[in-house]
A and B are shown apart, each in its own frame.
Chain A
Amino acid sequence: MISAIKSVINKFLKNIFKKKKDIKLGLYGPPNGGKTTLANRICKDWLGEDMGAVSSIAHETREITIKEQISIKSKGKELSFNLVDTPGIATRIDYEDFVRAGMKEKHAKLRAKEATKGIIDAIKWLDEMDAVVIVLDATKDPYTQVNITIVGNLQARDIPVLIVANKSDLKKADIKRVQAAYPQYSVIGISAKYGHGVEEFYEALFDLVD
């Protein structure tokens, strides 16, 4: 009860002191779901430039990256936000996985160390977000504990959530399964890589943040 009252007061104070242009929109999810690919898509569409590097090897993004003042327009409306791309959240990091993916041991160990720090930062930053897009790989099991923990923590903090089922271009993608796993949220199927479904995604962002 006390935490519920605290949450209402915090939300109220946040709304009083925050200007709309300061909205922080976070991209969260497990590694290799396509967060940075989606961030690049958004930045290319609205700023004409990329945000970060992408790779098929997990944990390519190991630091919080922020792109400020992105303005998107749709149907006469305009929405401005700071886009926060976060490292993928995982419960295990083994440098040997990177070695198996072709990296040298020294680099693999460094990548593992940076990845663990990135995960800690991503979790710490949950409190800073005004709205979050959870980016899931639609070809993978949506019921993993990492996904459930991310959703649960956002719910506990009263942070609005939109779920993106990414990689809809792949044969194995199952958008309906993701929708069935999280029926309480809007789930949009997209291919961030090829731009499929991004118009619907931008529309959903207005509903999420406004």
Chain B
Amino acid sequence: MVTFQFVPYHEIEELGSARRVKKLLDIVKDEKIVLMQGRLKREEEADLIAISMEEIGDKFKGIELAVIYPQEKGTSGVKKLRNNFFNMLLGDRQGLTIVGPASIVKEIKKDPNKIELYTQEKNSKRKKRR
């Protein structure tokens, strides 16, 4: 059985970068797949990878990570500017971040508005569509 845990953006918005990353990693180390509303900052994504590496041992093999983000093709300049402004003020709540333990998630493929998540168990395939 695979367990998904939803993390709404309001649960991480007050946290500093280190605590955000720790919160997600704690869930993943508990062998659950995180579905987080929005996305981390780019530097936090790199921190997530680096801290995962520090945690690797006999049980924990790392993570699989994917972010799907709404395409801005066809969006007007004013709208993009407005979106960027709100993202700066309120955090980036758009899109979805998926983080799973490497021992369970074999691969996550993006296409780019569709995600295919392959689990290690019997190579079963689950699909999530947006």
- Residue positions of B touching A, CB distance < 8 A: 41-43, 45-47, 49-50, 52-54, 56, 61-67, 88, 102, 108-112
Contacts and interface: CB of A to CB of B under 8 A. Distances in A.
A149 B111 CA distance: 16
A149 B52 contact: no
A90 B112 CA distance: 20
Contact of B62 (A94, A148, A152, A155): A94
Contacts of A89: 49
A143 B66 CA distance: 10
A54 interface: no
B88 A94 contact: no
Given A91-B52, A120-B54, A124-B50, A149 B42 contact: yes
B interface secondary structure, majority: mixed
A123 interface: yes
A198 to B, nearest CB: 30
A interface secondary structure, majority: helix
Nearest to B55: A116
Interface in A70-111: 89-94
A156 interface: yes
B48 to A, nearest CB: 8
A141 B66 CA distance: 14
Interface in A113-166: 116-117, 119-120, 123-124, 126, 141, 143, 145-146, 148-149, 152-153, 155-156
